[in-house]
Chain A
Amino acid sequence: MLNEISFYLLAALTVACAVAAMALRRLVHCALCAAAAFAGLALIYLQLDAEFVGFAQLLVYVGAIAILIVFAVLLTRGEEAAPGGRQSSPSWISGVGIAVLLLAGLLLPILASPSLQHGAPPAPVPSVKRIGEELMTRYVLPLEMVGVLLTAALLGAVVIALREPSDGNLPGNSPAQQRAKTGEAMNL
């Protein structure tokens, strides 16, 4: 019983946070709600006895990605101050409509197919050693590839986001002036 209650609770929490992340007006709140949703998901993983994945999810998403998103929000704060900018694109209703259609499309098979209704088998013996062996034997190549990918992404992100010398030393680049400039840019 504990499992079911906790699952439904966590599910509700996660869905709520997700909806909030998508619906809130202020970006920072959205980012934090998203982080909460990710944490909720991590707990669901734990509830599914996938311990290592849960903690990894927690460490990566809540620890790193949330911070990244928040920093991105900070660095592009000119957006916030723009007066009267509507947050959602004009034709957001059609977007949500399609999303609902998509949901229906996904739900139908899940509910219809009988094979998915069965309960959970006995909890597998969780062991990090198994995961370690698996990683180091069958998945050693993907592991190396992911390592390379991460370094590349790291360098790429730094290079892209690095302030180019051209716009770096422009006099008008201090945050205050930047906000003023965005003001002008907006109504151009």
Chain B
Amino acid sequence: MMNPPLSHYLLLSALLFSIGFAGAVARRGAILVLIGIELMLNAANLNFIAFWRFGANPQALTGVMFVLFSIAIAAAEVAVGLALVIAIYRQRKTTRLDAMDSLKG
């Protein structure tokens, strides 16, 4: 059972990363930006697993460990991010990022 070469996985992750980045950058909704960031995170995880699988020493499990912790932390991050978005929405009645520029220089 032939696995596709490593480069294909990397291509996929790069593609996913750039899609996530485009969404994060282009879309105006705060929640959508969060989703975009999640995608970028997943792309990175894919990279780790790919390198773990195609790596020289699969027994080391470092890639897997890294992804496990990354997933846990991503969950925490999304929870807090969305809480913030909700809090901002309740106070400013909008989730458009353009409206949240009070920290400007």
Q: Could you tell me the distance between the alpha carbons of A87 and B27 in the complex, rounded to whole angstroms?
A: 6
Given contacts A73-B31, A89-B97, A107-B11, contact A52 B20 (CB under 8 A): no
Confirm or deny: B15 has a beta carbon within 8 angstroms of a beta carbon on chain A: yes
Contacts of B31 in A (CB 8 A): 27, 31, 69, 72-73, 76
Residue interface mask A1-36, B partner, CB < 8 A = 1 = 111100110010011001101110001001100100
Q: Which of B19, B65, B68 contacts A22 (CB 8 A)?
A: B19
Contacts of A119 in B (CB 8 A): 2-3, 5
Q: How far is the CB of B104 from chain A (nearest CB, A)?
A: 15
Question: Which residues from 3 to 59 on chain B have a C-beta closer than 8 Å to any C-beta of chain A?
Answer: 3-12, 14-23, 25-29, 31-32, 34-36, 38-39, 42, 45-46, 49-50, 52-54, 58-59
Counted as pairs of residues, one from A and one from B, with CB atoms less than 8 Å apart, the total is 271
Interface centre among A96, A161, A185 (most CB of B within 10 A): A161
Q: Is the CB of A53 within 8 A of B67?
A: yes
Task: Give the number of residues in B that approach A within 8 Å (Cβ atoms).
Answer: 76
Interface residues of A (CB under 8 A from B): 1-4, 7-8, 11, 14-15, 18-19, 21-23, 27, 30-31, 34, 37-38, 41, 44-45, 48-50, 52-53, 56-57, 60-61, 64-65, 68-69, 71-73, 75-76, 78-79, 82, 85-89, 92, 95-96, 98-100, 102-103, 106-107, 110-111, 116-121, 124, 130-131, 134-135, 138-139, 142, 146, 149-150, 152-154, 156-158, 160-161, 163-164, 167, 178, 181-182, 185-186
